[in-house]
Amino acid sequence: MVRTTISQLLAAVTLLSKTSAYQQRRYIDNSSGTPEVIVPGASSYNGLNLVPQMGWNTWNAFHCDVDEDLLLTTAQQLVDYGLRDLGYNYISLDDCWSIGRNLSGYLVENPIKFPSGMPSVIARIHDLGFKFGIYSSAGLFTCGRYPGSLGYEKEDAELWASWGVDYLKYDNCFNQGQSGTPKLSFDRYNVMSQALNQTGREIVYAMCNWGNDDPYDWAYTIANSGRMSGDIYDSFNRPDDRCPCTEAPGCAWPGFHCSIMNILNKIPAITSRTMSGYFNDMDGLEVGNGGQDDNEYVSHFSMWAINSSPLMIGTNIGTISPANLAILSNPAIIALNQDPSAGAAIRKWRYMVDPDDYGQGEIQLWTRVLDNGDTVIALLNAGNMTRMMNATMDDIFLDQRTAGAYRAPPELSQTWDVYDLWANRMTDQEAGAIINGTSGAGSNATNPRFNATATSYAEGLRNNATALFGSRTGSIAPSGTFSAEIARHSVGVYRLRSQGNTSTRKRDEL
Ligand SMILES: *[C@@H]1O[C@H](CO)[C@@H](O)[C@H](O)[C@H]1NC(C)=O
Ligand SMILES: *[C@@H]1O[C@H](CO)[C@@H](O)[C@H](O)[C@H]1NC(C)=O
Ligand SMILES: *[C@@H]1O[C@H](CO)[C@@H](O)[C@H](O)[C@H]1NC(C)=O
Ligand SMILES: *[C@@H]1O[C@H](CO)[C@@H](O)[C@H](O)[C@H]1NC(C)=O
Ligand SMILES: *[C@@H]1O[C@H](CO)[C@@H](O)[C@H](O)[C@H]1NC(C)=O
Ligand SMILES: *[C@@H]1O[C@H](CO)[C@@H](O)[C@H](O)[C@H]1NC(C)=O
Ligand SMILES: *[C@@H]1O[C@H](CO)[C@@H](O)[C@H](O)[C@H]1NC(C)=O
Ligand SMILES: *[C@@H]1O[C@H](CO)[C@@H](O)[C@H](O)[C@H]1NC(C)=O
Ligand SMILES: *[C@@H]1O[C@H](CO)[C@@H](O)[C@H](O)[C@H]1NC(C)=O
Ligand SMILES: *[C@@H]1O[C@H](CO)[C@@H](O)[C@H](O)[C@H]1NC(C)=O
């Protein structure tokens, strides 16, 4: 944190206005007699991406097989299926879009893949209500061995800004050995950060250095998100030798082919490094790509959302199934991701249980306090059988119990209403009708969908928009336990809302 005098108040107020109400309350301090503002030193460095980015990215489903038709067709489908208006508003083009540099040193788009020219494609994507993301690598080449941006940061940033680019995914391949210490990686990624800033265009900077050199420890002053693991692959929990690390800090060889459970289990150690304007990126979503069953995709999507990972859809929207559209379209889960608190969840416990097909099974309890005082809990069953899972109030409010000089946490003497956030998942019938174009994207359906283009998630949460709160399934009494039956490889996600003090309430009711 940085202490400032009243002369810097104006600048500080600008910064504070970009942070959540929660932060504003905490950082105004006049206890010394002279009014003084304590500026949160690690809010968004460029004022962008205060909640995680959402959108669609080409890599997981299409790899190098990209062209302008794919981008424009998908953008239209995202509109038609209501996904843009659920918040997925970046179209992010990944690797393999260029053919090289021209004699002046500027990148040139592949004219066969992008015959209209990139500026025209980007303008049409903007017209459809999206922002546009480009891709490069902080190396001599991209991972697909097209020209990288190392040494050409200024030219590339200028070109992208002139095209109207809003977002950069910046990879780590062919980095010429400029890694191995946090300082080497910081310096290399900072050159592009400065180059983007100097264009004067607002460009969200998504670092993709796979957690190498622990970016969650140094990147929040230069970037808006940072990958924290090697690349994802479409498997729930199959270990793969190409993804050798099981912990994020100090992982020297991030690799690739990392499963959902591998990436998820790397997050608990670094959750304190998730903040408004800098998110730990668990990598693009695999929902829809066929390698996992429905429960596994529900778990993948829920755990990415609750941990404030960017939510970038990575599947072929043109062939998406109703069930997978329904998973990606759950506004009650997306609202956790877009919550103004911009934090990650905390894993309260993890126990090994019956062996799964790959030699281990486990169950976990995750919790997160939300901006409006609600608490969300996730009961994750990565074991091999359906089981009753239990969350005690003592575990849910562990942090409040251990926050310093002991005091009985008020949360423990309250009754909490429990809302199941998957209860109102769209039926396959409804999702199928949306895909078939026979439902008007739900605008006149009996259960209208949340429209984040019209009403932000923050505003919807403030106004208790029903679509964001799932369905009430019961309550937890003071010091009680919440139990739910959770299927194999599935998760229950519940929002707890305080009823206030039960003792007081009981007297009122008598
Ligand atoms: C801070 O200033 C406000 C307004 O002048 C005052 O109401 C409040 O008591 C002060 N707080 C402290 C801790 O001095
Ligand atoms: C290279 O590309 C840039 C940006 O598109 C353009 O301004 C410049 O004229 C090109 N230079 C040559 C030699 O073609
Ligand atoms: C550039 O950086 C400054 C200082 O961090 C910031 O105030 C400004 O908004 C940034 N501008 C852009 C276009 O990112
Ligand atoms: C997982 O459960 C299935 C179905 O009950 C069973 O056939 C399989 O043997 C179990 N796997 C392991 C590793 O226990
Ligand atoms: C949850 O509690 C029930 C009832 O006490 C018990 O049968 C069950 O084994 C518990 N589940 C776990 C995973 O410990
Ligand atoms: C969507 O269209 C397909 C093909 O015509 C049809 O089989 C299916 O029943 C339709 N689904 C819905 C939910 O209308
Ligand atoms: C929704 O509105 C459209 C156009 O007004 C209409 O054709 C359609 O039948 C309506 N759907 C439902 C489910 O009411
Ligand atoms: C969502 O709201 C926007 C802005 O009001 C509107 O243009 C759009 O059509 C709405 N989307 C849906 C699916 O109703
Ligand atoms: C939203 O619900 C909470 C909890 O029931 C309540 O305290 C609050 O007043 C409600 N807000 C609005 C705007 O209705
Ligand atoms: C709730 O009850 C506890 C214990 O009886 C008491 O200390 C606390 O002040 C009460 N809180 C409210 C908001 O009434």
Catalytic residues: 171, 231
30 CB under 6 A from ligand 2? no
Nearest-ligand number for the alpha carbon of 198: 3
Nearest protein CA to atom 1 of ligand 9, as residue: 464
CA of 340 to the centre of ligand 2 (A): 42
| 242 assigned to some structural domain | yes
| 114 assigned to some structural domain | yes
The residue whose two tokens read 């959540």 is 20
285 and 354 in one domain?
A: no
358 and 333 in one domain?
A: no
| 19 assigned to some structural domain | no
DSSP-derived letter for residue 449 is P
Mean pLDDT in consecutive groups of 10 residues from the start of the chain, 510 residues: 39 39 47 59 83 98 98 98 97 98 98 98 98 98 98 98 98 98 98 98 98 96 97 98 97 97 98 95 98 98 98 98 98 98 97 92 98 97 97 95 81 95 96 87 59 97 96 94 98 95 44
274 and 196 in one domain?
A: yes
Total domains present in the chain? 2
Strand ranges (E), 219-335: 225-227, 279-281, 311-313
Nearest protein CA to atom 13 of ligand 5, as residue: 389
313 and 378 in one domain?
A: no
Contact between 23 and 371 under an 8 Å Cβ cutoff? The reply is no
| 457 assigned to some structural domain | no
333 and 376 in one domain?
A: no
pLDDT of 223 reads 98
pLDDT of 409 reads 87
> How many other CB atoms sit within 10 Å of the CB of residue 1?
9
pLDDT digits (tens, 9 = 90+) for 425-473: 999 999 999 999 887 544 545 456 899 999 999 999 999 999 999 999 9
| 461 assigned to some structural domain | no
DSSP-derived letter for residue 45 is T
CATH number (domain holding residue 406): 2.60.40.1180
Alpha carbons within 13 angstroms on the beta-carbon side of residue 372 total: 20
139 and 82 in one domain?
A: yes
444 CB under 6 A from ligand 7? yes
446 CB under 6 A from ligand 7? no
* Spatial strand order in the sheet of 54-57: 279-281, 225-227, 204-207, 167-171, 131-137, 90-92, 54-57, 311-313
476 and 402 in one domain?
A: yes
| 445 assigned to some structural domain | no
Containing structural domain, residue 334: 54-342
pLDDT of 401 reads 87
304 and 410 in one domain?
A: no
pLDDT of 37 reads 56
Among 326, 342, 358, the domain-final residue is 342
164 and 182 in one domain?
A: yes
pLDDT digits (tens, 9 = 90+) for 144-186: 999 999 999 999 999 999 999 999 999 999 999 999 999 999 9
Among 342, 373, 403, the domain-final residue is 342
pLDDT digits (tens, 9 = 90+) for 325-350: 999 999 999 999 999 999 999 999 99
| 332 assigned to some structural domain | yes
Determine whether 190 is exposed, middle or buried from the number of CB atoms within 10 Å of its CB (0-12, 13-18, 19+): middle
Residue from 407, 413, 479, 502 whose mutation best tests the ligand 10 pocket (most atoms within 8 A of CB): 413
363 and 317 in one domain?
A: no
Among 314, 342, 370, the domain-final residue is 342
334 and 354 in one domain?
A: no
| 5 assigned to some structural domain | no
Q: What is the pTM of this model?
A: 0.89
CATH number (domain holding residue 183): 3.20.20.70
Pull the structure tokens for residue 285.
Answer: 């979503």
DSSP-derived letter for residue 48 is -
354 and 335 in one domain?
A: no
Query: Nearest Cα to 331, choosing from 154, 85, 112?
Result: 85
For the packed helices 153-163 and 182-198, what is the interaxial angle rounded to 10 degrees?
40
Percent of the chain past pLDDT 90, that is, above it, reads: 84
Query: Nearest Cα to 211, choosing from 260, 153, 145, 283?
Result: 283
